[in-house]
Structure 1
Amino acid sequence: MSLPSKLFKSLVTIKNDLKEDIDAVFTRDPAARNSLEVILTYPGIHALVLHRGAHCLWNNEQKLAARVISYGSRIITGIEIHPAAKIGKRFFIDHGVGVVIGETAEIGNDVTLYHGVTLGGVSWNNGKRHPTLEDGVTVGAGAKVLGPFTVGKNAKIGSNAVVVKPVPAGATMVGSAARMISDYHDEKGNPLTTKVQDAKQQEKIAKAGDSSEDQTADTTPTAKRTNTFRAYGIDPYSQDPVAEAFAKMLEHIQQSENRLDQLQSAMCDIDPSFCKKKIR
């Protein structure tokens, strides 16, 4: 099939999908009054229609034209959707400004996004980098979903939440408390610290600050800041600090139990009757 024929067929499909897209607006936005108003004034509809056209061009190796349409859509609507992103039916972007949908993102049917949502990637892999939203997912205003994982069917992500791990179907995710997980990372993602633990070394560094001659000798850091760019400031190798804290706590509990067992054994050697006593 020739390119013009493919484009014409795509336009017919876009026209047929448009009615479903408009109907989706009425079911999710009580402010919508009539179809003409939705077509003329809803940036989410404009961005979706333009994306469907750009996506068709992208799939037919007209990538520059697809990017130009995507760029124009961003200027008009404030919504940035990469033309390679896969979007299902009845997709609704409410308000729209600040929405970003990355290249390898996949969105199912009946999905709703609010303004300020980012579906981003945190790695430089050539393959899958962005999230997959299954059918019926709702993502609240300002939420960030970062990484190549799946948000399950009918899951809900609250406003301003930051999600970096898979979400089970039907789950609700909220919260975005930031915690320091490390100062810097090396190329392999291992955390590096620039804190100098030794007080004498700190004193040397302080003195070196006053002397340009000794500066290179005494202020050589224990770890260098890398120039590796981290998309969205997230390192895909970063460990969950809460999980690490629990792991350390469990390890400490196990060590304490071992020490108690050793202590009990020693007490029993000294006083055999001790082991026969019941602990209340």
Structure 2
Amino acid sequence: MVLGQIKQDINVIFERDPAAKTIVEVILCYPGLHALIAHRLAHCLYKRNMVLIPRLISQTSRFFTGIEIHPGAKIGQGLFIDHGMGVVIGETAEVGDNVTIYQGVTLGGTGKEKGKRHPTVGNNVFIGSGAKILGSIKIGDNVKIGAGSVVTKPVPSNTTVVGVPGKVVSRHGVPIKELHVVTKSVCNKEIRAEEMPDPVQEMLQILMERINYLEKKLGEKES
């Protein structure tokens, strides 16, 4: 069964990575595959109530690949970890079928709670580089999570999530329009999430304008 999973893991790389050219290259040069092979073995031993040996396998794999998958994590078929450096998957995390994970992704907890404390990820999910999915939350099927997003709340199926904190910006590929936003120059205008004003950037702009004004006044006094 484990050998069958490994064979499928290799096929998935050819399906999703156009850079993959030969089986030898994939077997020798893809750390995501190496981490998955180690995890398949460690998880098999973990289910037999072994503790130390599976953890040793996991930590050895982490040393060589930069990818840490706890032996207790449940990984479905067709997982593709691209690049992989810095990926962390916690003990009670569950990953469905045909999931793609990029470098720097964390499926982690939010504290020292017991029991189920890591995310459950559905099928056909794409998780961009640097994304953090934290806590015992459920990510639905066919979800896309943007790079760098921080997700701490459940995500419904067929949606796209971006931002910190993560917010749903599209459903079934259709952008979600935000509430009406009233500003000095815009009234009752519907704008998309990516068009929302950035309060930090606006404040920096105001401060820069104030500094320029004060420098101008100071220059006038000195002259």
Task: With the length of structure 2 as denominator, give the TM-score of the two structures.
Answer: 0.73
C-alpha deviations, 1:173-199, integer Å up to 9, x for none?
Answer: 011269xxxxxxxxxxxxxxxxxxxxx
Q: Does 1:129 align with 2:129?
A: no
Query: Partner of 2:62 in structure 1?
Result: 74
Query: Deviation digits for residues 194-219 of structure 1, max 9, x if unmatched?
Result: xxxxxxxxxxxxxxxxxxxxxxxxxx
For 2:13 and 2:165, how far apart are their aligned partners in 1? 32
SS in 2 for 1:173: strand
Alignment of 1:67-216 (within 5 A): 67-176=55-164
Residue 27 (structure 1) shift:
1.4
CA offsets 1:225-268 (integer angstroms, 9 cap, x no match): xxxxxxxxxxxxxxxxxxxxxxxxxxxxxxxxxxxxxxxxxxxx
2:27 maps to which residue? Answer: 39
Amino acid across the alignment from 2:30? Y
Structure having the larger proportion of residues in strand: 2
Q: Could you list the per-position Cα deviations for residues 111-141 of structure 1 after superposition, in whole angstroms to 9, with x for gaps in the alignment?
A: 1100000001013222110000011111000
Aligned equivalents of 1:17 and 1:51: distance in 2? 11
Identical pairs, percent: 56
- Whose helix fraction is larger, Structure 1's or Structure 2's? 1
Q: Which has the larger radius of gyration?
A: 1
Q: Distance in 2 between matches of 1:121 and 1:89?
A: 23
Gapped regions of structure 2 (runs ≥ 5): 167-223
2:49 is matched with: 61
| 1:154-187 per-position Cα deviation (integer Å, ceiling 9, x unaligned) | 1000000000100110110011269xxxxxxxxx
- The 1-side partners of 2:47 and 2:3 are apart by 18
Whole-Å Cα distance in 2 between the matches of residues 125 and 59 of structure 1?
22
Give structure 1 regions of 4+ aligned residues with deviation exceeding 6 angstroms.
Answer: none
Q: Using the alignment, how far apart are the partners of 1:118 and 1:177 within structure 2?
A: 15
Per the normalisation by structure 1, the TM-score is 0.58
Secondary structure, counterpart of 1:69 in structure 2: helix
How many correspondences in the alignment? 166
Q: What is the match of residue 195 of structure 1?
A: none
> What is the Cα deviation at residue 95 of structure 1?
0.0
